Amino acid sequence: MTKSILTYEEAVKCLEYDKNKGTIKNKETGNYIGFNHLGYKQIQLHNNRYYVHRLAWLLSTGAWPKDQIDHINGVRDDNRIINLRVVSIAGNQRNATKRVDNTSGVTGVYWSNRKKKWSAQIMVDQKYIYLGTFDDFNEAVKTRIDAESKHDFHVNHGRTAETY
C-alpha cells in the first residue's frame, strides 16, 4: 500500500495550525502529536504519519515543501512558521546545532593531543577541509568562523538550540 499524499484542501479540513505557537491538532479527534526518536513532532492522519514541520509549511503556503525544512533556531519541536525555511540537504547541514559530544565549545575546533595544539576543520559537501593547527584557541575559532562564512553556513550553525 502506497502512502497517499495529503492535499492542502484535506489538511485544512482535518487540521488546525496555530502559526504563532507552532502547534497542530486534529480537528475531529483533538488528538495531538507524538515525537519520533529524533525529537521531531509527528501526527497521524488517515493511517499515515506526517512531520508537523512539513504540515505547518503545507498549511501556511498551500504546497508541500520541495526540499527539507530547517528549524532556524535548532529547536526541533518549534514549528512556528517564522522558525521554518525550505533548504537543500547541504543547507540544512549548514545550520546544525552543536553536537552533544563537543568538548571545546565550538563546532569544528578541537584539541589535538598528538600535536598539543588546537585544530580546526569544517565539513563541506561531505568532505572535511582541514583549516590548520593553532597555539591559540581564539585563532582556531576565528579561522573556523571565517570558513563558515566563506561556505555560506547559517549564523546559527554550531550553536546550542535556543528558542526566540
Q: Domain containing 140 — which CATH number?
A: 3.30.730
Place of cell 526518536: 37
Mean pLDDT of 29-43: 81
The answer to whether residues 79 and 104 belong to one domain is no
Q: Which residue has the higher pLDDT, 17 or 35?
A: 17
- pTM of the predicted protein model: 0.79
Q: In 10 A of CB 133, how many CB atoms?
A: 14
Please tell me whether residues 105 and 135 are part of one structural domain: yes
Residues of the domain holding 26: 8-87
Residue 30 is predicted with a pLDDT of 64
Residue 66 lies in a domain: yes
Number of domains in the chain: 2
Provide mean pLDDT across the span 36-44. 88
CATH of the domain at 50: 3.90.75.20
CB 77 within 8 A of CB 41: yes
**pLDDT of res. 158:** 84
Predicted confidence (pLDDT) at residue 2 exceeds the cutoff of 60: no
Length reported for the chain: 164
Q: What is the pLDDT of residue 1?
A: 39
